[in-house]
Chains A and B, each alone.
Chain A
């Protein structure tokens, strides 16, 4: 790691003031930042420890049945909170499928959204052609070993995927990211939070320098929801593909609203809005479900080695719909 200076922020306003200065990184759980620094993916001159800012780790219920989760809440605490388990099981399951118990004890829900890609060319110890790390150097994955890369929304500049599990669940839940900023914070819908892959040197989100995520708000509850994660080993591994599904059924058990997000298929969680529209009004067991789900894949563009993600994604969505339909929440 290159040398840096360290300080602990005593309060949010102090943190915002100091964070504005370029070359300053916020340190929450550190489960990503330390590795970025070891690989020189990030070389902040100043590290500002915000992990123990008070008042930012609470999990509160909202009048509409939803939740407000403090950005500094540790992943395990969020996943195991009774209100989260009951109201938005998809988020609890997504978190518990992520990383390991040790990492989930350190990592925060806010920091987790800001994970960088696990593309092996990006994460290499050496400088390989990577437009995120060195704009203009090329994308080695574009025509390389891309069996784990994107099938949606990629460009020749970058075919990386976003690896976060919680982000996929939050995308399906229409969550909003609440921030604080010197000039005034904002409320950013999660589906507008991430930038397209060719946005510029390793900028993955719309956050500005020194802008601090303070909370995540989830509107309403989604008790009929689930997360499924596919990987070759049973635990402690990033997804090959994952899915978060939340269904609202009407009294006739027809789909009143479907919200479906796929993970590890794009540079952000990918809402299958086309499928969601086609599913409205259908019964979960109906034969028409498959064709409706297929609508979500019209925009899929495979790379040389990852066409299987289309079939896998489709099957995952179908399986998740079946499972949530069977739930008795």
Chain B
């Protein structure tokens, strides 16, 4: 049977289009209390917290402050933010929670929060640009790639260069802005804790709660079958989950806590403002001789989050001499957290692919040709072969479909619009984590998958049913799936584009065991002949002995990444500062595509994220008040339907059995990568304006005359 590779529809379609799919806030418990957080209006010292008036408001049952909460046992970063919540009077950032209002109704709880008087002796605000960049602490917990790296002789490399580009690029802080607000519904059954939590990592929430509350993990059950988008913001557990559990304990009643949209801007993480400085040296034929890449990202005073943008410089092109440095700069804000395609994905490639375009222009060379000249056949630093890489084919496929080679040499005028074309490479790191899944083949001709993975919309239900269906000789619609429950075998978090690879591999391992037990050919028939009801196996995947997280192939014999190219056509109206998309095409080398329907949707969705990054998204930090200025979807615009007239994604046929037994790699994030620089490069082509700061707003494009 060959369900894998077919564009089958998602089996979760019906429940999602009928509103029957339940997300965390849709669940309920009798006698529950609503919890709403009170937050600090500024960083500094909490000098007084007056809860009397609020406590006597109608319907308010209790207002919890730090006095009501236990000493939480610290959790290793990054499992949760390093700052323990509500444990002392030091407020590190605007929006830090200081009290929890518990009331019978949501209206009563919300109204009461406005009656709590929070007084802060304000601390001096550190805004971006005011502190010296420094290396991150070596035990920061957020170091996923080299902080300082060097390869070859940089000075020699630059001295050999005939062409040199040195430029600084900037991207602002950006929030994930998932449509579903973070939420937790928690209650205790004796000494056991049960929570519904909007999460990308069932086991992560379980571990965090068990650790902070001093419970054996088996005493904590986490349930989350569907998550309304995460994009990284629901990857590592957050404080509100702990608050809900604690409030349930203290009050003796179930507690439902749903963050407001505004609170999602202060306590669920963000991608930090990053300054990139890139220097490229090249010889007349365009081959890079040297690359230096310095990146500085802002971080909170509580932890050193490292964006690792410079990873792009070490992974993308064959350059004989390179040096990269990651630095951080403290600001008075909450802690960042990974955001879709972090590091040497969207962040690093924004800078690198802009610099490459500037180099192509300096050389008078086709930007695509420059990329081809610098293609890395092996990992540029380690020299390891790639587990798979068909980027050259992806460049060619994309260029052909887009019509890159037929584009006019100069920008064309279309009425009031100048039309420009731009391209950029794309690459995304590969994350492999341990995963487990149980498969049960039943004599009635169905199978059951059980694993704690989460559904954030990536299409896991359909691709897993395809994998198991093919492996056991069943049609996919006869594969039932139970997910999102910590009582099920533990899957890795649904982040890092890892689920298909790792949970998929665990599923195939389980099926392999079932076939080994029953027989390779037609295991179902053999099961029926045996007279037994079912045959089950627990499958596992591990990237290596004791390895909890393997990045880009880690210590294995091959390097692993995904690859692509983005081609963009934009229109710029210089008089009015308007930048609008005309068409965008992504062409990818991402391993075996298990389901072309869901893969295309993932890639396109991610590319639209890239458009938002390029043209509108920014969470501006107010430098005197020390806060994200706009904490709402008006002040922080995201792409709307009308922004996207034509976007497509194609890919090369490829199978990578090293990365995963499924033959596939992750596709959830790479679509974001390369879009912002392709857009900026197209703007340059259209106007001659080189924009090095995102987002590319009207005021940056206005004609000066």
Contact = CB atoms under 8 A, between A and B. Distances in A.
A228 B630 CA distance: 25
Interface string B685-705: 000000000010111001110
Contacts of A6: none
Contacts of B635: 118, 120, 123
Interface in B627-648: 627, 629-632, 634-635, 637-643
Contacts of A292: none
B698 A144 contact: no
A308 B575 CA distance: 11
B111 interface: yes
B262 interface: yes
A232 B695 contact: yes
A19 B26 CA distance: 39
A1 B106 CA distance: 10
Interface residues of A, number: 36
B691 to A, nearest CB: 13
Interface class of chain A by DSSP: loop
A236 to B, nearest CB: 5
B629 A318 contact: no
Given A240-B698, A308-B699, A312-B702, A232 B625 contact: no
B114 interface: yes
Contact of A40 (B58, B114, B622, B625): B114
Contacts of B622: 140, 144-145
Contact of A145 (B629, B699, B703, B704): B629
Given A1-B110, A2-B111, A2-B114, A319 B576 contact: yes
A232 B637 contact: yes
Contacts, number: 100
B262 A3 contact: no
A128 interface: yes
Interface string A113-128: 0000010110111111
Given A2-B111, A230-B578, A238 B616 contact: no
Contact of B624 (A144, A231, A318): A144
A144 B620 CA distance: 12
A233 B58 contact: no
A236 B642 CA distance: 9
A316 interface: yes
Interface residues of B, number: 43
Contact of A1 (B111, B576, B580): B111
B653 interface: no
Nearest to A315: B575
Contacts of A319: 416, 575-576
Nearest to B637: A233
A311 interface: yes
B172 to A, nearest CB: 12
B111 A234 contact: no
A142 to B, nearest CB: 11
A230 B577 contact: yes
A128 B625 contact: yes
Contact of B637 (A1, A237, A312): A237
A47 to B, nearest CB: 14
Contact of B642 (A1, A126, A234, A315): A234
B416 A230 contact: no
Contacts of A234: 580, 640, 642-643
A120 B629 contact: yes
A3 B111 contact: yes
B58 to A, nearest CB: 7
Interface in A217-240: 228, 230-238, 240
Interface in A287-317: 308, 311-312, 315-316
A128 B628 CA distance: 12
Given A120-B629, A127-B41, A312-B702, A233 B576 contact: no
A22 B577 CA distance: 45
Nearest to B260: A125
B107 interface: yes
B416 to A, nearest CB: 7
Interface string A3-16: 10000000000000
A118 B107 CA distance: 25
B637 A145 contact: no
B639 A233 contact: yes
A232 B703 contact: no
A234 B640 CA distance: 7
A147 interface: yes
A319 B616 CA distance: 24
A311 B704 CA distance: 8
A31 to B, nearest CB: 13
Nearest to A309: B699
A1 to B, nearest CB: 6
Contacts of B114: 2, 40
B625 A312 contact: no
B643 A233 contact: yes
Nearest to A234: B642
Interface in A89-146: 118, 120-121, 123-128, 140, 144-145
A232 B580 contact: no
Given A2-B111, A235-B640, A308-B698, 7 more contacts: A123-B632, A124-B629, A232-B637, A233-B637, A311-B702, A312-B577, A312-B699
Q: Nearest 3 pairs between A and B by C-beta?
A: A234-B642, A308-B699, A235-B642
